[in-house]
Amino acid sequence: MLVVVGLLWTLTAGFGQSRGGRGLVSFGRSSGLASDTLYLDVNQDIAVQLLPFDELVKIAVAYSPAIKYQNEVSSVLKASQGVARTQILQNVSGFGNYSGGNQVLIASGSPDLNTNPIGQIANGYRAGVELRVSLFDVFGRKHLIRQADANYKASLVQKDIAELELKQQLISIYQDMITAQQILKTRLIDEQASLAALRVAEAELQKGKITTGQLASATTAYVQAKATTEQVKGDFLKSVHLFEALMGTPIQRLKRY
């Protein structure tokens, strides 16, 4: 009876040490990163804690640095498309001026040798447009416009490809998180059971019921279980941080509540 009571007590106490005040497991602190603490409920599935996957994909598309970069590339090529269509306007120029003269100079027969007689009698404003068309504008402009259009359309296709690749990466890492969480749940049970067995072995050694060798075996089993748990916690943290990097936003903002 004492052994059973001690086993239940150690299981409860040990499990309580690994959980926060609201039943959340702190993974960052156990991995040696005091400023990188992630609180998630290890007993609740990731799919339940986080937003639906379709919404996660939409958030990733909106905040992912790779998608943002592709959007900027498309904007640049869209501007290049507009430049190609309006570049012909650089061959068009306009002018305007005003000229005032004295017709008396011409009538008296004594014009100023330093002035243009025709300009002296052509009084008034002048305005006009000059257009110069090169052979490239005639034969090559349409190909330049087609090239700009094709580059812009290619950037849109590349954006679709980037979104598809992002979704594939999210599916892979999302599944890795789910798998790592399920493994962690079983490893935590094994760790707590090993800890309980170690506490019982320590108590029985004091009573002289077991040898030090048996205590050493219980200690080794607990150490191995603890090391495995920490490794699984690290794998889980790695998956979460990779997921955050792809999403472009912290995991806390992706939770349902």
For residue 228, what pLDDT is reported?
Answer: 95
For residue 241, what pLDDT is reported?
Answer: 87
Cα dihedral across residues 151, 156, 160, 166: positive or negative: positive
Cβ neighbors of 226 (< 8 A, separation 6 or more) are 191, 194, 195
Mean pLDDT of 236-246: 88
**SS3 per residue for 199-221:** HHHHHHHHCCCCCHHHHHHHHHH
For residue 192, what pLDDT is reported?
Answer: 93
User: Which residue type occupies 5?
Assistant: V
pLDDT one-digit tens code per residue, 110-140: 555 555 555 445 556 666 666 666 666 666 6
Where are the strands (E) in the chain, listed by range?
Answer: 25-26, 39-40, 92-99, 124-131
Residue 245 DSSP one-character state: H
- Who has greater pLDDT, 202 or 84? 202
pTM above 0.85, yes or no: no
Mean pLDDT of 223-241: 92
Task: Report the distance separating Cα 80 and Cα 185, nearest Å.
Answer: 55
Cβ neighbors of 219 (< 8 A, separation 6 or more) are 198, 201
Confidence class of residue 186 from pLDDT cuts 50, 70 and 90?
very high
- Who has greater pLDDT, 96 or 193? 193
